[in-house]
Amino acid sequence: MVDWTFRPPRLAAVAVAFFVAACAAPAPERTTQLVPDETGLPAAAEIYAVGYGNIVERYIEPIPVAKIAFQGLRGFGAIDPAFTVHEDKGVLEVHHDDRVVARHQAPGADDLDAWARLTVAVAAEARSASPILGAASDEKLYEAVFDGVLSELDVFSRYAGAAQAKRNRARREGFGGIGIRFSNDDGVVKILSIMKDAPAEGSGLLKGDRVTHVDGLPMSNLRTEQLIERFRGPIESTVVITVVREAVERPLRFNLKRAHIVPETVTLNVDDGLAIIKISSFNQNTAVSVAEALENLHDAGAGVIDGVALDLRGNPGGLLNQAARVADLFLGEGGIVSTRGRHPDSVHHYTAGGRDLARGLSTVVLIDGKSASAAEIVAAALQDRGRAAVAGTTSYGKGTVQTVIRLPNEGEITLTWSRIFAPSGYTLHGLGVRPVICTSGARGEVATTSAALVTDTLANKASLAAAMAGWRRIPVKPEDVRNELRATCPAERRFATYEFAVARRLLADHRLYAQAVDAATTPTTASRVDGAH
């Protein structure tokens, strides 16, 4: 997923009269809030208004608020299937089993606040009529409504409640923590590794220590999510970690001060002249980490490194700006990626600054059927610009950008709002990136098979050129055309070493490497570096 995060303004309300008769029901965790806040809307209604309003304004396709809200009301049926909502000639009927619970005149198609208030009214009626819905928390109702809306849009638009949204933000932006990875094996919490430059490094904690208490609270019989919450806390806050260490008689206690921790997404390994930079996902530190990896390669000395294998296999994506920055580390001046949607803020053209921090090192990008979104942006940019050869299988084909909308309840909506276009102008959505050297279905002895894949593919220049040109022929292709193109190199999840063997073969022979790069940079590629028109 490619994310942009912002906090929307609180929406102003207009006075719309709706009267709700709520009878007693089994006590939920909280009751739907009907007390107006400073906007004039009930607090729950404001959450719906902010959500509905941003979907109407920002979704990649136009959609009226009436359609959004109606699908949201139907979402209550996910909690209690006996609850349904019907519309007939502008009148909404609320049913439970075969009984009509209430009737409402449908608001105007674009009356945002009225639909938000109606959602609150129907929620109260649902709780009164249905014991199941009556026992549901407010958060469960928000989830049902927004899931009902977003499931009708596309598979990448979704809602996360406050707890899940907090975890999502931690993955994207970091969190207050001590910088350890741990396992939880039947209540035994063991430190697996310690992050570089984190509070845990140099504190005395060691890999293999078994954590028994955090701030004096036992760690046994807790779910992994609960353990994570124990370790995390406000940045600069102090935490006491108690561990048991093999061959040490007494428990050991360590006082640490939490720091801003951003999960590691980049690893560097050098194996017999091949520098393998693995990117697992794209968060706010990914580009900096790749830059550090490239600097470390140059510090190793000239002649030691034959080239770089940029391993994006299994990478599900992440932040768009980080993908652009990673591509920029390898490129001279020119286009990287373009995005286009309905909202003016969704239209962007990313260009390289011309520095090429990799200093011209020959590069092979490895992708597979699980390489998605931000990973595809990097692969497409380096391929289209003639900066790298791409090997593996056709990528996932997630060519849309999602904006993240933070709601007043601290939940968030991830909403599709633009399409991604490669430098040559084709859209990644539903198509993906096609490698020059295709490893789909590769079997047999690795060295022999990989050598044959390279030589046979590059020898058949006409077939390869036709496949690559077909990818770029029109910006947005019909589904049947996309499927036909993807079938030329089927998407697969790859774990084996064939892709590394292909990278070694290409990087060891400058002639083969140049042929692989040139095969993907046809004349159609060079003319559209600023995206689709």
In this structure, the number of other CB atoms found within 10 A of the CB of residue 158 comes to: 19
Going from N- to C-terminal start, the domains of the chain cover 3-18+31-153, 175-261, 266-341+348-394+433-526
Q: Are 507 and 517 in contact (CB under 8 A)?
A: no
How far apart (Å, rounded) are the C-alpha atoms in residues 43 and 52? 14
Q: Are 91 and 104 in contact (CB under 8 A)?
A: yes
Overall average pLDDT of the 403-431 stretch: 94
Q: Among all chains, which residue has been given the structure tokens 């198509």? A: 431
pLDDT at 299 over 90: no
Handedness of CA 346, 349, 354, 359 (dihedral sign): positive
pLDDT for the residue numbered 174: 85
pLDDT at 64 over 70: yes
Q: What percent of the chain has pLDDT over 90?
A: 74
Reported as a single tens digit per residue, the pLDDT across 214-256 is 999 999 889 988 999 999 999 999 999 999 999 899 999 999 9
Residue 187: band (very low, low, confident or very high) from pLDDT cuts 50, 70, 90 = confident
DSSP result, 167-216:
HHHHHHH-EEE--EEEEEETTEEEEEEE-TTSTTTTSS--TTPEEEEETT
Kindly report the CATH class assigned to 266-341+348-394+433-526: alpha beta
Overall average pLDDT of the 67-83 stretch: 95
Overall average pLDDT of the 453-471 stretch: 91
Residue 6: band (very low, low, confident or very high) from pLDDT cuts 50, 70, 90 = very low
Structure token digits, residue 64: 């009226």
Structure token digits, residue 105: 């005149």
How far apart (Å, rounded) are the C-alpha atoms in residues 178 and 231? 7
Based on the residue annotation, tell me whether 370 is a catalytic residue of this protein: no
Residue 41: band (very low, low, confident or very high) from pLDDT cuts 50, 70, 90 = low
The total number of residues shown for the chain amounts to 533
Residue 522: band (very low, low, confident or very high) from pLDDT cuts 50, 70, 90 = low
Residue 9: band (very low, low, confident or very high) from pLDDT cuts 50, 70, 90 = very low
Based on the residue annotation, tell me whether 186 is a catalytic residue of this protein: no
- HSE-up (13 A, CA, CB side) for residue 171: 15
Catalytic residue among 3, 138, 362, 398: 398
pLDDT for the residue numbered 98: 85
Reported as a single tens digit per residue, the pLDDT across 444-461 is 899 899 999 999 999 998
Catalytic residue among 138, 311, 328, 384: 384
How far apart (Å, rounded) are the C-alpha atoms in residues 123 and 69? 12
How far apart (Å, rounded) are the C-alpha atoms in residues 192 and 208? 6
More confident residue, 531 or 481: 481
Fold of 175-261: Pdz3 Domain (2.30.42)
More confident residue, 495 or 136: 136
CA 306 to chain centre: 33
Mean pLDDT of the chain: 87
Residue 351: band (very low, low, confident or very high) from pLDDT cuts 50, 70, 90 = very high
pLDDT for the residue numbered 32: 38
Reported as a single tens digit per residue, the pLDDT across 260-296 is 988 899 999 998 889 999 999 999 999 999 999 999 8
Q: Which of 373-382, 422-431, 445-454 has the highest mean pLDDT?
A: 373-382
pLDDT for the residue numbered 172: 81
Q: What amino acid is encoded at 356 in this protein?
A: D
Structure token digits, residue 51: 């959500």
Q: Which of 24-28, 357-361, 432-436 has the highest mean pLDDT?
A: 432-436
Residue 42: band (very low, low, confident or very high) from pLDDT cuts 50, 70, 90 = confident
Q: Which of 16-20, 288-292, 476-480 has the highest mean pLDDT?
A: 288-292
Q: What amino acid is encoded at 412 in this protein?
A: E
Based on the residue annotation, tell me whether 373 is a catalytic residue of this protein: yes
pLDDT at 334 over 50: yes
pLDDT for the residue numbered 478: 86
pLDDT for the residue numbered 170: 83
- Strand pairing of 3-6 and 400-406? parallel
Q: Are 381 and 423 in contact (CB under 8 A)?
A: yes
% helix, strand, coil for the chain, step of 5: 35, 25, 40
DSSP result, 363-377:
EEEEE-TT--THHHH
Structure token digits, residue 104: 């409402």
pLDDT for the residue numbered 36: 40
Catalytic residue among 289, 346, 362, 373: 373
Instruction: For residue 26, give the nearest of 140, 105, 133 by alpha carbon.
Output: 133
What letter would DSSP give residue 282? Answer: B
Q: What is each CA distance from 64 to 151, 306, 412, 413, 417, in whole angstroms?
A: 16, 56, 21, 18, 15
Q: What is each CA distance from 214 to 199, 205, 252, 253, in whole angstroms?
A: 15, 13, 12, 9
Least-confidence region, from 172-181, 469-478, 524-533? 524-533
Structure token digits, residue 411: 């939940």
In this structure, the number of other CB atoms found within 10 A of the CB of residue 267 comes to: 13
pLDDT at 17 over 80: no
pLDDT for the residue numbered 101: 92
Q: Are 492 and 368 in contact (CB under 8 A)?
A: yes
pLDDT for the residue numbered 302: 53
Q: What percent of the chain has pLDDT over 70?
A: 89
CA dihedral 159, 164, 165, 166 (to 10 degrees): 170
